Amino acid sequence: MNPIIQQFKRYGFLSSEAETAIEGRTKHFFKKKHDHFLKSGQVLSSYFVLEKGLIRAYFYRDGKEVNTWFGEENQIFGSILPVYTNRPSFENIQFLEDSEIYAISVEDLNELYRMYPELNLIGRKIAEEVCVILEERSISLHIESASERYQSLIRLQPRLLSRINLGHIASYLGITQETLSRIRRY
């Protein structure tokens, strides 16, 4: 079954008409490790679900990459900014493993919101869930030391550590790779 529909159903009721309409707009891709799904400023971002694989979102700051989040299987993602403003994201999204992905474009999503207003409840729940996650992330960055942030990451996404190299993790935590290496040594 289409994993976008599957995810949507976790948040609220979906009529069979809406379901069919989503089905018809869902795109299915296979991507290789290191491929990019979105390049900032180029494409209007979308909601998507990783059927298999691993992704990171990052942006550039002073010519260097800064990771903002990692995505694993069976979650729904997408930066909210394009959905809210209809402008492209500043984020790039790259696959860190060979991946299989189901996606729906922002244009299609907004059309679906118009055609099936019931979808707005699901959209609201998803956005509210993202708020809760972002609040936690802000608090972690606000008050935790580097080592506490590392512990928080282990708690929230334990499987990441064996799948991603230290440089990417350090960038996500807002510290250098050297500092992360020393933190792990204790």
Partner DNA sequence: AACATTTTTTGATGTATATCAAAATCAACT
Partner DNA sequence: AGTTGATTTTGATATACATCAAAAAATGTT
Q: How far is CA 65 from CA 43, 92, 140, in A?
A: 19, 10, 20
Closest CB 51 distance from DNA, rounded Å: 23
Determine the size of the site formed for its own copies (CB under 8 A): 32
Among positions 52-81, residues that touch its own copies (CB under 8 A) are 61, 66, 68, 79-81
Q: Which does 41 bind (CB under 5 to 8 A by kind): DNA, its own copies, none?
A: none
Closest CB 39 distance from DNA, rounded Å: 20
Q: Is there binding between residue 111 and its own copies (CB under 8 A)? A: no
The phi and psi torsions of 99 (rounded to 5 degrees) equal: -135, 155
Q: Which of 145, 154, 156, 159 binds DNA (CB under 7 A)?
A: 145
Q: Which of 54, 83, 93, 175 binds DNA (CB under 7 A)?
A: 175
> For residues 22 and 33, is the Cβ–Cβ distance under 8 A?
no
Q: Is there binding between residue 83 and its own copies (CB under 8 A)? A: yes
**E strands, 14-73, where?**
27-31, 36-38, 46-52, 55-61, 64-71
Residues 172, 27: Cα–Cα separation, whole Å: 29
